[in-house]
Structure 1
């Protein structure tokens, strides 16, 4: 069985950087926005539209598990199709090679593949400071605006996660390791995280 690591993360905590650096350290494939790009190509849709359909968390009343019949209003049919195809794509990626997957409720969707589940979080002040470094945050001129945006994005991620699991997003009981990046330089954490991951998978195979 391939080594699969899923990373759930609070916005601004550096979870994406953790995932990329960890994948590089372990020699694994790394998947983040590549997932939306792949779906967009498969379905001949705009990548931004696909990303919004995956991330908005608006279909909470629609069952999305394999083996279940999906019945939805025509208004939502395309969004539902995107989410179903996303599940299939995640399983294909996990079956293809060792990999690190960021977000997309991969921790739940790939639970049958025994992934190492990480959750990355940080204090609000740290997240605001980190977001201020992002080019895409330039239009948010004040720390208060950034804090509101962080809360909005995290609420959306939690809502999206609830479509696939009753487990509360961010609940420590649903992850193997929770990582608080507050005040820390992520690249200095990676050797330790890589060592943890290697040991975890070695023990799982015994």
Structure 2
């Protein structure tokens, strides 16, 4: 694989999905976020609701976290099955061409691929709460509770499956503080890094 891949990790409410979506449009390459839940559900033969319940989580309730592995006598945690399945899907999609992945430990899954840009997006608590309040039409208290819950869920998931620190400079190539830089400037910077890496080698193209 010589094409470029962008893997974006993000705090809840930081604008990571919006950044990935706009990059996808402006660079003309596909983005995969919740699509990975749909693909994993199809591969596992389960409903999207069931898979989404453990997506980017390591929750272990008896009813939602276990499924029988075919006719094997052992039970396989659904969150482990989801991670393994999504990882295989990410690898397969990365083989096909340039694209953007949001979350799902894509940076770790593609850690052996030198053309993967590993980015983490974060922002202040105030800015994230305001974004979530506006997006979901909820109160500040509810938004702050959602931030705490989702950040814990993503951190636990990432660190369980990667043995690396979520959102740290040690785990990611580039960290963007959206509260300081802003979404438009962040997008422009990532686009510059992406296109510059392609133009530096005449053998690489966007397709």
1:16-95 alignment, distance < 5 Å: 16-58=17-59, 74=75, 76-95=76-95
Distance in 2 between the 1:57 and 1:81 partners?
Answer: 11
Give 2:192's match in structure 1, choosing from 192, 195, 199. 195
Which position in structure 2 is the counterpart of 1:13? Answer: 14
Give TM-score, length-normalised by structure 1.
0.82
Other structure's SS at 1:93 match: helix
Which position in structure 1 is the counterpart of 2:128? Answer: 127
Structure 1 residues 111 and 126 mapped into 2: Cα distance closer, same or farther (>3 Å)? same
Which position in structure 2 is the counterpart of 1:65? Answer: none
Q: Does structure 1 retain, via aligned residues, the 8 Å contact 2:20–2:102?
A: yes
What runs of 5+ residues in structure 1 fail to find an aligned partner? Answer: 60-70
Q: What whole-Å deviation, never above 9, does each CA across 1:18-42 have from its counterpart, x for those lacking one? A: 1111122222111001111112222
Structure 1 residues 72 and 36 mapped into 2: Cα distance closer, same or farther (>3 Å)? farther
- Give the total of aligned pairs: 190
Distance in 2 between the 1:72 and 1:108 partners?
Answer: 31
Structure 1 residues 42 and 126 mapped into 2: Cα distance closer, same or farther (>3 Å)? same
Distance in 2 between the 1:175 and 1:22 partners?
Answer: 19
Q: Does 1:101 find its partner at 2:98? A: no
Other structure's SS at 1:55 match: coil
Shift of 1:180: 1.0
What runs of 5+ residues in structure 2 fail to find an aligned partner? Answer: 61-71
Distance in 1 between the 2:188 and 2:159 partners?
Answer: 32
- Give the superposed CA RMSD: 2.4
Distance in 2 between the 1:85 and 1:11 partners?
Answer: 23
Which position in structure 2 is the counterpart of 1:145? Answer: 142
Structure 1 residues 200 and 164 mapped into 2: Cα distance closer, same or farther (>3 Å)? farther
Shift of 1:195: 0.6
Give TM-score, length-normalised by structure 2.
0.82
Which position in structure 2 is the counterpart of 1:64? Answer: none
